[in-house]
Amino acid sequence: MRILVLMVISLSLFACKLDLEDEFHVEKIPAYNILMPDNCVLNTETNIPFDYNLPNACYEFFNIEYDEIDRFTRIITPYAMVENSQVCTDIYREETYNLNVTLTQEGVYRFKFWTGETSTGITQYEERELVIN
């Protein structure tokens, strides 16, 4: 009996997951207009605003991916949740994300913001440096 209940619950959860995948997908969106300060103070929160575009009403900002590649290199990739609807109104929106970072080591940090891919699939970044002292 327990096995039957677990199977029914598992199938229900799997079916819900498939329904969501049919309705939405996640997509990278380019960052631009990055306002990097010249420097900041060690162990102090620093705001780094950047803009992104949502091309139509089916796009909503989802999240960013913040990868620490090494001690001083960070890659920032914005993502949108996209509704898989066939009817999307053409409402172009430009929005700003405020990235707040607290850096804990003195040095020059390199931030790489994802800006898209070339026609041959090569990833492109806008790189900025931030001095921590």
Place of tokens 């598992």: 10
Phi, psi angles (nearest 5°) of residue 72: -125, 15
- Provide the residue-wise pLDDT of the chain in tens; the chain has 133 residues: 545 444 545 555 554 444 556 789 999 999 999 999 988 999 999 999 999 999 999 999 999 999 999 999 999 999 999 999 778 888 889 999 999 999 999 999 999 999 999 999 999 999 999 999 8
The pLDDT, as a whole number, for residue 6 is: 45
The CA-atom distances, in angstroms, between 31 and each of 48, 59, 78, 123 are 12, 15, 7, 13
The pLDDT, as a whole number, for residue 124 is: 98
Residues 56, 99, 35: CA angle, nearest 5 degrees: 85
The pLDDT, as a whole number, for residue 5 is: 46
Helix (H) or strand (E) holding 116: strand 107-117
